Amino acid sequence: MNGRSRTILAFDTSSRLGSVIVTANGKVLARAFLRSPRRHAARLLPAIRGVLVASGAQLGDLAGIVVGSGPGSFTGVRVAAATAKGLTEGCGVPIWTYSSLAAAAASEGVWLPAGWSGPAGWRKGHEDRAVEPPEPGSPCYVLFDARADRVYAGCFRVGPASVDVLVPPSATRLGEVLSSAIPEGAIFAGDGAFRHAAAIGRRGWRVVPPPAGLPTAEGLARLFTLMPGPPVDNARAWEPEYLRPWRAGAAGP
């Protein structure tokens, strides 16, 4: 590679479909997908090795690591965090972390692997196309399904040069989302929005079907480009965004 400052490794395993990419100057050099959520822990490091080999990069070429910090699957979020910590400790490179909800909002235009089954009820054939973008400049209210009426939620406006956090990420319930102040012109996306599409539609809001609202490594890389900010100050002490304040006995996934 032509310099450390040009190469980034990004990955997210907060959802059913994990993803890993290597980018240089915003261009994706190699990508891999992890299709089995129960195997994310076993397959993430091999996938990282694979994209590094495919891109022609080595760990020593990396300017940094960009990781999805959750919320989402507890195990998946933990796996991504532990892997990022181990890599930054071993390689001496910084890590940047971004909400997986924000990564989902920033994932429009990302192509997904053929054959991915998607959430229950997802229409076959969608796996062969790109993530459907919302209207340009529209707020994207992302809901991750956390069972029953529980959701992880956040609303973002992703523009060509900036990202606005309109509703910060939280663990909440669908009724609380729909009774709150929803940004004008928002569209809903994510497996939680898909699951509750009828209820959301009755309130007059549009739901964009999957794969919109899926967090991806490419979405993370887009966030890194739009809002680089400082890296994590103390990677060893950093903890991901589990966001699990539901009452005892009503835990999320």
227, two tokens: 């809002």
- Quote helix, strand, coil % in the chain, to nearest 5: 30, 25, 45
What pLDDT does residue 117 have? Answer: 57
CA-to-CA separations, 38 to 41, 63, 75, 128, 210, in angstroms, rounded: 8, 30, 9, 23, 21
Beta-carbon count within 10 A of 28 CB: 17
What pLDDT does residue 37 have? Answer: 78
Spatial distance between the Cα atoms of 44 and 38, rounded to a whole number of angstroms: 11
What pLDDT does residue 24 have? Answer: 92
- Alpha-carbon dihedral angle through residues 235, 237, 238, 242, given to the nearest 10 degrees: 150
- Beta strands 206-207 and 187-189 are parallel
Q: Residues near 51 by Cβ (< 8 Å), separated by ≥ 6?
A: 9, 20, 21, 22, 29, 30, 31, 32
The model's pTM is 0.89
Q: What are phi and psi of 245, to 5 degrees?
A: -90, 15
Q: pLDDT digit string (tens) for 52-93?
A: 999 999 888 899 999 999 999 999 999 999 999 999 988 889
What pLDDT does residue 128 have? Answer: 40
Residue type, 38: R
- Determine if the peptide bond prior to 240 is cis (ω within 30°): no
What pLDDT does residue 4 have? Answer: 38
What pLDDT does residue 235 have? Answer: 92
Spatial distance between the Cα atoms of 115 and 117, rounded to a whole number of angstroms: 6
What pLDDT does residue 111 have? Answer: 74
- The rounded average pLDDT for each run of 10 residues, N- to C-terminus, in the chain (253 residues) is 65 94 92 87 94 93 94 94 93 94 90 66 46 70 95 95 95 96 95 95 91 92 92 93 61 44
What pLDDT does residue 3 have? Answer: 37
By the 8 A CB rule, do 208 and 191 touch?
no
What pLDDT does residue 119 have? Answer: 60
Residue labelled with tokens 């990677």 = 235
72, two tokens: 């989402």
Spatial distance between the Cα atoms of 188 and 201, rounded to a whole number of angstroms: 10
Residue labelled with tokens 């994310």 = 40
Rg of the chain on CA atoms, in Å: 17
What pLDDT does residue 95 have? Answer: 95
What pLDDT does residue 110 have? Answer: 78
